[in-house]
Every structure is written in C-alpha cells, then in structure tokens.
A and B are shown apart, each in its own frame.
Chain A
C-alpha cells in the first residue's frame, strides 16, 4: 500500500470523526448535568437539512453552519424544557425527536422536489484547507478546539462544577442555591447547538448533500462514544477518531477495486456498527456516570 493511501485514510477518518465527536461532546455536557438525550440522531438529521437550506438561502457556507447550529439549539431547548420544567420522560422525548425528524426531513425533501435527495451547490459548501498531502476541513480544527474548551469548562471552571453538581446530586445543588432546571436547560441548549453544528457539517461540508438517511446512525454512535469516553471530551476525540476511522475505512474499501471484489460492500458497511458494539462492551465496566442521569428533579 502506498503512502498516499495511508494519508487518504487518515484524512477520511478525521472528517468522519467530526460529526461523531461534536455530537458526543454536546451529549457529554448535558449528561454531566443529568440529561440523557437519545434524540441526537434526529437532531443531526434535521440540522443537516436546515443547514443545507440555510447555506443556499444566505449564500454562504458559514451561514449554513450557523443555521444548523441554531436549529440544534432550538431542538435542545424543546428537549430541555420537556425534561426539566415539565418533568418529562427523557428516553421517550428522544424517540419522539427521532421519529419527528425522520418524517420531517423526508417531508421537506419531497417539498424540495427531489424525493430522498438534495444536493448543496458547490459554491456554498465549506472550502477545504489545502495541505501538501490532502485537503482538510476547518471543522476538524474546530472539533479539536471544542474538545479542549469543553474539557476546560467542565473540569476547571465554576460553571463546570455547577453542571456536575446538578448531575450528581440535584437536591444538594438546589440547597446550595443552584437552579437545577436552569442549569440543565442551559446544557441542553448548548448540547443542541453542538449537535446542530455536527448535522450542518454533514450536508454543508462533508457529503455536500442531504438524504433521508444522512445521519446513518451517527447520533447513536456518538452516544456510544460518550460511554467510551466516560464523559471526558478529550477521550471523545479519540473515540470519535476510532469510529471515524472505521466509518471512513468502510467508504474507502467499498471503492477500492481489489478489496471490493473479495469482501461484499454490505459487510464492510457493517464495520462501524460492529466496532461500536465491541468497543462499548470492552470499556463499559470502568465507566461511572452521574448519579442523577436520566431522572427528572423534584424538589421535596
């Protein structure tokens, strides 16, 4: 195998890492505060669509990313309100968001005239940074920076301590004068914004198109990455890269002539999901999650 192939796989892995890690970092923020959101998949899907439309409407790729980010934040707000002030069921809310997204995106794609598929014009896609050995999306750098920022935020600031207090022991946090619901709602919105950015990246940057299945389980792989990372954003970067590698590897193998004939593409396409299962099964014993994860807070 030649060196440029290795670089090729490395770059594909980095690009495949972005949506998984961004979504995982978002989920890390809200899980630290005690919210378990399985609606990431649907949020990715919707913001991939709105991001694409936003890019076309504003005529700029950055505009598209911002529209996707805002969409995610709004969905985060909905999830947050239902599961803080309204004491909803977090798992069911997540399923609701996923089903809604499935229908909404398909509905919108039909309205756009092309059932199941919508391409983003090349001039409103994110421009890649040309490097000697390949082209890199600036979002890769944003993702890496985000991991460090959120790590610092959660572990080195007053706000981070508050977020973790709300996730570990909401009653004690409440007594200490922290508004449990407000903190949780804030984390849900921040998480939504990151997931929205990840979604917009799929359409405005990586694939340059929206389909009904553009998220392809990445929201759930992001959930698995959170488990793998044990709520550490820096490890989410590593986890995202591992899953990204298999994701990208599958795409690469599926198009590589010699391998394509030996292994059917369907089996290669399974790889990211099988690896996710194996990795999660391998690490889970040592991971400890916030005590109040998944439960609404009732003041006694």
Chain B
C-alpha cells in the first residue's frame, strides 16, 4: 500500500506538468498556424528529431545535462523560499573557470577534477554577494541576480576576447585540454560522462533536502518562514546555504558544457553554447516541480525539445526559437493554480461519465 500511496502523491504534480506541456504545445501550434507553418509536420519532426533514434536520444540527453544542474540551482532556492534567477551568470563564471584550468598542465583524472572544483568555487563566489546583499542590505535577489548576470556576461566577453583567447583562432577561447575533458559515451554523439556528474548532483540534492537536518531546515524556512523562526532555524544560514549550493551547481553546469561538448571544447564569442541555459533551467525546475527526480525528466524533455527544434528548423522550416515560446507558455500555465481546478473538474466529469456508462 505504501507504494500506491506515494504514487498517488506524485500523480497530481505529474498530471499538472503534463497538462501545462500540452497547453504549451497547443499554443505553439496556434502560433505556427498563424505564420503559415504546418504544426503537425513540425511536431512529428520535432519528436522524431528528439527521441526517434538512439542517436537523437543521446543528443537529447546531452542537452539535458547542463539543464539538470541549472534547474537544481533554482529548485534548491525555491525550496528555501528564495527566487534565485542567477544561474545564468554563475554558469558563465563556471565555464570560464573550467577553461582557465586548461592553462596549466596536469595528468588526466586530476586535471578534470581540478577544473570541476574551480568551476564550483567560481560559481559559488559569484553567488555569494547575492546572499550577502540580501542579508545585510535586504536587496531582493531578483534584482541582484539579474545585475550579476549582466556583469558576468560582459566579464565573460572580456575574458574570451582578451585573456583566454586562442592564439590561433581569435573567435574562441583556448580549448579544454585533453586531460580535462569528459569522454564521449556514444561515439559520434555529444553525449558524454558529464551527465553522470549532473545525475549524481541531483541525487545529492535529493538526499540533502529529504534526508538531512540542513535540508529539513531549508524546506521549513521555505514553506513557513514564521514557524521556522520560532523553531530557531537561522534565516541567515538558509539564505547562505541556498545561494552557495546553487552557485556550485550552476558553476558545474558551465563546466560540463565546455568540458563535455564536442567539437570545440571552448567558449566561442557570443557564448552561444551556454547562453540562456540558466533561464531554461528555471523552466525545467518548474516543470519538474522543484524535485530533483522530476527535474531529471523535465530536463530530458527540454533537451529533446532543443534537439528536435533544430531538426524542425530544417525540415518544415519552423524557427528554433518557437521552442522557447512554448517554454514560456508552459511556465505561464504552471503559474495558475486555477488550472488544477479546471483539471479536477474535467477529470470528475470524465470519471462520472465512465461510471454511468458502466452501470
């Protein structure tokens, strides 16, 4: 009975997310119709491109890898009642730190570990001032994280153009050293062992949140700040915890992206391979209901949309950007608790009809 009970507990959020996904795809279809595209052909090519073969599965998983980490950044803060939208900037810093480690020479496993550590520390340090500004000056994290994102954006541009530049090719940074790269899991695909890092991180966050005192305190502080206060849970500690762990995870996201993704293993001018991963992570966290396991599935869904979106761009010619439109609609749908009521209403009608048919 225990299993059935816990399954029922998870059923509602899963159906809600699925419903929001359907609404997103439906509005995406309406927009496509409005611009003279064929939504049927577009979605067929999108899902064939994302989950149609072993190779497309591998690409979808590769795209899911950084999203799992940036989504965890947002989710851990959300569990603590904080709205951290700073993964974007922290991930740039993590990627820069990982690339910088390739300036020195070290043997294989050590080099990779040092690069990961540097990225984690980089992301954490970029997140620290957000926590300090909130605790000492009461600056809302929505404002401070966005400002730090933009500062990181220009800082990264500077580093790519002036400090870490590849002496042979000016449009990119030096490539990550061979000794500091994640090996590919499927030859010819982008899927690499970075995904193991992401999944381990998700499991660690799961353990932290539901099996440790620290995680319990964080969740209480997020769920009911007043009770947390009377229970003697320090708000200062929770804010620091949520932002610092979040920074570590976002830094890792930047690192796995440059250390694992062929072919360049470097940051290019404009940072096309890392830009917006932080914001997509917010969407992934919301669809995954800020739960690490939910996030893994939501990230694979989104990774698939990104890969399939590229295919869709070729065959029916629908611009890839439509995927982000769908993402926005899904989030708007999830923001509405009323949706739950509408869903229950529809379900009760359906169940009622089935019951009356049976009699």
A binds B: yes
Interface residues of A (CB under 8 A from B): 38, 42, 78, 82, 86-89, 91-93, 95-104, 106-107, 110-111, 216-217, 220, 223-224, 227, 264, 266-267, 269-270, 273-274, 276-277, 280-282, 284-285
CA distance A87 to B332 in the complex (A): 12
Knowing A103-B325, A103-B328 touch, does A91 contact B83 (C-beta < 8 A)? yes
A82 touches B332 (CB 8 A): yes
- 26 intermolecular pairs with C-beta atoms under 8 Å apart: A42-B328, A86-B336, A87-B338, A95-B85, A96-B329, A99-B327, A100-B325, A100-B327, A100-B332, A103-B324, A103-B325, A104-B328, A107-B31, A111-B35, A224-B143, A227-B143, A266-B161, A267-B158, A269-B154, A270-B151, A273-B147, A273-B150, A276-B147, A281-B133, A281-B137, A281-B139
B155 touches A270 (CB 8 A): yes
List of A residues within 8 angstroms of B146 by Cβ:
217, 220
From the candidates B31, B283, B319, name the one contacting A110 in the complex (CB within 8 A). B319
B282 touches A95 (CB 8 A): yes
List of B residues within 8 angstroms of A98 by Cβ:
279, 328
Question: Which 3 pairs show the lowest CB-CB distances between chains A and B?
Answer: A100-B328, A103-B324, A96-B331
CA distance A297 to B35 in the complex (A): 39
A274 touches B151 (CB 8 A): yes
CA distance A91 to B84 in the complex (A): 11
Number of interface residues of B (CB under 8 A): 47
A277 touches B325 (CB 8 A): no
B140 touches A217 (CB 8 A): no
Query: Which B residues, 181 to 195, have Cβ-Cβ distances below 8 Å to chain A?
Result: none
List of B residues within 8 angstroms of A86 by Cβ:
336-338
From the candidates B148, B150, B323, B331, name the one contacting A92 in the complex (CB within 8 A). B331
| B162 in contact (CB, < 8 A) | yes
Write the chain A residue with the least CB distance to B144. Answer: A277
List of B residues within 8 angstroms of A96 by Cβ:
328-332, 334-335
Given contacts A103-B327, A277-B143, 6 further A-B contacts (CB under 8 A): A98-B279, A99-B327, A99-B328, A110-B321, A266-B157, A281-B133
Per-residue A-contact encoding for B158-182, CB less than 8 Å = 1, 0 else = 1001100000000000000000000
Interface residues of B (CB under 8 A from A): 31, 35, 83, 85, 133, 137-140, 142-144, 146-151, 154-155, 157-158, 161-162, 276, 279, 282-283, 286, 319, 321-332, 334-338
Interface secondary structure of B, over-half rule: helix
CA distance A103 to B323 in the complex (A): 7
CA distance A111 to B313 in the complex (A): 12
CA distance A77 to B319 in the complex (A): 28
List of B residues within 8 angstroms of A280 by Cβ:
137, 139, 143-144
A103 touches B322 (CB 8 A): yes
CA distance A89 to B330 in the complex (A): 14
From the candidates A95, A101, A285, name the one contacting B138 in the complex (CB within 8 A). A285
Write the chain A residue with the least CB distance to B146. Answer: A220
Knowing A107-B322, A267-B158 touch, does A285 contact B137 (C-beta < 8 A)? yes
Q: How far is the CB of B261 from chain A (nearest CB, A)?
A: 22
List of A residues within 8 angstroms of B154 by Cβ:
266-267, 269-270
List of A residues within 8 angstroms of B324 by Cβ:
99-100, 102-104, 106-107
List of B residues within 8 angstroms of A276 by Cβ:
143, 147
List of A residues within 8 angstroms of B133 by Cβ:
277, 281
A274 touches B147 (CB 8 A): yes
Write the chain A residue with the least CB distance to B157. Answer: A266
From the candidates B31, B162, B328, B331, name the one contacting A264 in the complex (CB within 8 A). B162
Q: How far is the CB of B14 from chain A (nearest CB, A)?
A: 18
Q: How far is the CB of A17 from chain B (nearest CB, A)?
A: 18
CA distance A67 to B281 in the complex (A): 33
Knowing A107-B319, A264-B158, A266-B155 touch, does A92 contact B335 (C-beta < 8 A)? yes
